[in-house]
Amino acid sequence: MSTGYYDVAQICLNGHVVNDSVRRFPEFNKKFCEKCGARTIVECPNCRASIQGYYHVPGVIGVGSQEPAPAFCYECGNPYPWTETQIQAAKELALELEDLGLDDRKMLAKSIDDIVKDSPRTTLGATRFKKIMAKVGKEGAAAFKEILIGVVSEGAKKMIWGK
């Protein structure tokens, strides 16, 4: 029995999956994203490993939606450009919140690094994040969710937003 394999994904610098099967369906490749106009990449800018796309299993036909863009490179562990952008935007937003004291803003920005990865610090980061979000109000909390939902670890998502 033959084993499956990952195709290569083409993803724009803002994290929109353009083609999750670059090799199998090259006719869908695009130099720029149709959603945002950003340039697309097929490899990690740090180590040049291909971005893993659709997992093909011989004899099985997949039907459904595309997988979301991965947050970190499987080969070198560095965040992809879209992950870096989302983390930086969330940190900047944390420092802009005038309703919070400076210590809370700094703690909020620091907790972002802990909630984007599943690690021993995830629970601590999620607890701090959720505690400070209670002080921010609905609009601020919604803005953070919009920025971070694609890069926050699954464990942190459950702790912060439930489900």
Domain end, chosen from 33, 49, 78, is at 78
Residues 86 and 73 in one domain: no
Residues 26 and 94 in one domain: no
Domain end, chosen from 78, 113, 133, is at 78
Residues 4 and 73 in one domain: yes
* pLDDT number for residue 99: 85
Domain total of the chain? 2
Residues 48 and 109 in one domain: no
Residues 3 and 70 in one domain: yes
Across the beta sheet with 10-12, what order do the strands follow?
17-19, 10-12, 40-41
Read off the tokens for 159: 């702790």
* pLDDT number for residue 140: 87
Residues 106 and 67 in one domain: no
Q: Taking a C-beta distance cutoff of 8 angstroms, is the pair 94, 108 a contact?
A: yes
Residues 100 and 131 in one domain: yes
Residues 74 and 108 in one domain: no
Q: Which long-range contacts (CB under 8 A, 24 or more apart) does 87-96 make?
A: 87/112, 87/113, 87/116, 87/151, 89/147, 90/144, 90/147, 90/148, 93/143, 93/144, 93/147, 94/144
Q: Which residues pair with 157 in a beta bridge?
A: none
Residues 104 and 139 in one domain: yes
Residues 107 and 126 in one domain: yes
Residue type at position 1: M
* pLDDT number for residue 150: 85
Is the Cα torsion angle 73, 151, 12, 70 positive or negative in sign? positive
Q: How far apart are alpha carbons 18 and 102 in whole angstroms? A: 40
> Which structural domain, as residue segments, surrounds residue 70?
1-78
Q: Taking a C-beta distance cutoff of 8 angstroms, is the pair 48, 70 a contact?
A: no
Domain end, chosen from 78, 94, 122, is at 78
Residues 92 and 120 in one domain: yes
Q: What is the pLDDT along the chain (163 residues), one digit of tens a residue?
A: 568 999 999 999 999 999 999 999 999 999 999 999 999 999 999 999 999 999 988 877 766 567 789 999 999 999 999 999 999 999 999 999 988 999 999 999 999 999 999 999 999 999 999 999 999 988 888 999 999 988 899 999 999 998 7
Residues 15 and 52 in one domain: yes
